[in-house]
Amino acid sequence: MYVTFPSEIAVKASTAPLASASSKTAEARLKRGAYLYFEGDEVEWLYQVTSGVLRLTKLLADGRRQVIAFGYPGDIVGFPANDLHHTDCEALTEVRLQPFRRSHLESGDGDPALHCALLKAALREISAMQDHFMMLGRKSATEKLASFLCVLSERVGEDLGAYRQINLPMSRADIADFLGLTTETVSRTFTQLRKSKIIAIDNIHTIIIQRPTALMSLAEDGTD
Amino acid sequence: MYVTFPSEIAVKASTAPLASASSKTAEARLKRGAYLYFEGDEVEWLYQVTSGVLRLTKLLADGRRQVIAFGYPGDIVGFPANDLHHTDCEALTEVRLQPFRRSHLESGDGDPALHCALLKAALREISAMQDHFMMLGRKSATEKLASFLCVLSERVGEDLGAYRQINLPMSRADIADFLGLTTETVSRTFTQLRKSKIIAIDNIHTIIIQRPTALMSLAEDGTD
DNA sequence: CGATAGCTTGAGAGTACTCAAAGTGGGTGG
DNA sequence: CCACCCACTTTGAGTACTCTCAAGCTATCG
């Protein structure tokens, strides 16, 4: 999952399961805190998240970290480059996964429909990452966090009467490293959104969106 | 072309031509300032840059711009998502291109080798973009510009006796929008690199790298 | 119930931004 | 061929946003 703009197109498409009967492999499970793979590992499988949330990260030599993406249900993770994984991948919650042999991505032999679906997922990934560039390069802290909450609200938000509720399994540091901010700035921005009654913070991992429209405009151009 | 770290792996691989005899299409040419496609256009062709430089951009509603990538010889541009282009693409110089029908990416029928090469290019693109996230999200202005110059030096630098020379067909504003900075900051950072004798600015579009090692360490952790 | 990791808040500093003006160079027309 | 013009670049001054460092707070887990 990348943060792009509110109301992105491909949400529905990306949350549909890919598995066709013929290529079905046993579902995999991951405990919270377990790693699915590390940067540099050889890629044998790709995975579609069935339930739970993954976190993909890269590290700089001096310890600075970037969260590349969060893997939400429907997302495909593990695309290889030069046969290798290029991020670490950790489970933020208990996670269920549908594995696909890497060979299904690389050739259509055996299951052309799956091959095609994996390719489409890779192309969508490129497009989503391009949008994410805009956010990392050009948006303010408030715009970034508001965009993040908007996207989560659309993808995994739950209706709660008039409001919408989202669960954040990741830490403030994860959010910061995803948005290119510090934990302090993320925390202050949460506080600021709370004080302007745009969101309520039920507990650290549960956000209630009280004024979705205001959040949307903050996401788009920082105006309230 | 994305800015990642100095000494990336896939440089050689990405600059090799893909065309196999059977799928060869007439070379395309583009004048400086001409657009290859716009965001929202339907994708019919992908292109491998043969010579010259392309610029891929996205615009935000309020006019903020992000340069997504520069297309240098060897790069493939035009990957579709939902059948559409997701950036604008303009020629910064005269450009020669090898077009490939989109169908070659989407199915192996006809030319499996080309299909495979295009797929590999898409996967490399994902990996390179992941590295670029790190740069946009976590690097300082100096580190960004130094990284940019390092990558260009490796990919398209020319030996000049002891030094290395690179040509920058893009404007300072293009560089700024690529690195997530302002033109003023880019300009000031160039000046600062020049004053510390790490680079020399022959003319606005021609940079000579006088101390490659120093530039590398600036790119990696900002220390001189 | 205490320890500890994670979160929030505060104060101050620094980097990059904004606005403004001057400088540079390429291109065009006289 | 030269001069002017315009777009781009550089430099300057001041500001603002985000970061850093530090301390206090909260909640979760033994």
Q: Predicted confidence band at A6 (pLDDT cuts at 50, 70, 90)? A: very low
Mark yes or no for CB contact A81/B127 under 8 Å: yes
Mark yes or no for CB contact A180/B105 under 8 Å: no
Nearest protein residue, CA measured to C1' of D10: B187
Domains of chain B, first to last: 6-136 (2.60.120.10), 139-221 (1.10.10.10)
With an 8 Å Cβ cutoff, is A28 touching chain B?
no
- Provide the mean pLDDT of chain B: 91
Chain B: closest CA distance from residue A49 (Å): 19
Q: Which residues contact A136 (CB under 8 A, 6 or more apart)?
A: A179, A180, B133, B136, B137, B180
With an 8 Å Cβ cutoff, is B136 touching chain A?
yes
Rg (CA), chain B: 18
Distance, in Å, from the CA atom of B132 to the CA atom of B89, rounded to the nearest integer, reads 19
pTM confidence score:
0.93
Distance, in Å, from the CA atom of A150 to the CA atom of A155, rounded to the nearest integer, reads 9
Whole-number pLDDT of residue B4: 64
Whole-number pLDDT of residue A102: 94
Name which of A68, A81, A131 is nearest B133 (Cβ-Cβ).
A68
With an 8 Å Cβ cutoff, is B180 touching chain A?
yes
Structure-token match 């969260």, residue found: A67
Residues (157-216, chain B) with CB within 7 Å of strand D atoms: 171-173, 183-184, 186-188, 190-191, 201, 204
Mark yes or no for CB contact B133/A58 under 8 Å: yes
Enter the tokens of residue B106.
Answer: 């989407």
For B147-159, write each residue's pLDDT tens digit. 999 999 999 999 9
Whole-number pLDDT of residue B178: 98
Residues (42-71, chain B) with CB within 7 Å of strand D atoms: none
Distance, in Å, from the CA atom of A62 to the CA atom of A82, rounded to the nearest integer, reads 25
- pLDDT over threshold 70, residue B135: yes
- pLDDT over threshold 90, residue A15: no
Residues of A in contact with B64 (CB under 8 A): 134, 138
Mark yes or no for CB contact A136/B137 under 8 Å: yes
Average pLDDT over residues A23-51: 92
Whole-number pLDDT of residue A110: 79
Name which of B86, B127, B131 is nearest A127 (Cβ-Cβ).
B86
Whole-number pLDDT of residue B190: 98
Q: CA-to-C1' distance for A214 and C20, Å? A: 34
- pLDDT over threshold 70, residue B16: no
Angle at B13 between CA B9 and CA B14, to 5 degrees: 95
Q: In this predicted structure, which of A28-32, A125-129, B54-58, B159-163 has the lowest mean pLDDT?
A: B159-163
Distance, in Å, from the CA atom of B60 to the CA atom of A129, rounded to the nearest integer, reads 15
For A62-102, write each residue's pLDDT tens digit. 989 999 999 999 999 999 999 999 999 999 999 999 999 99
Q: In this predicted structure, which of A12-21, A131-140, B58-67, B92-101 has the lowest mean pLDDT?
A: A12-21
Among B43, B130, B140, B145, the strongest candidate for a mutation testing the A interface, having the largest count of A CBs within 10 A, is: B130
Q: Tell me if residue A31 falls in helix, strand or coil.
A: coil
Mark yes or no for CB contact B86/A61 under 8 Å: no
- pLDDT over threshold 60, residue A5: no
For B73-116, write each residue's pLDDT tens digit. 999 999 999 999 999 999 999 999 999 999 999 887 878 889 99
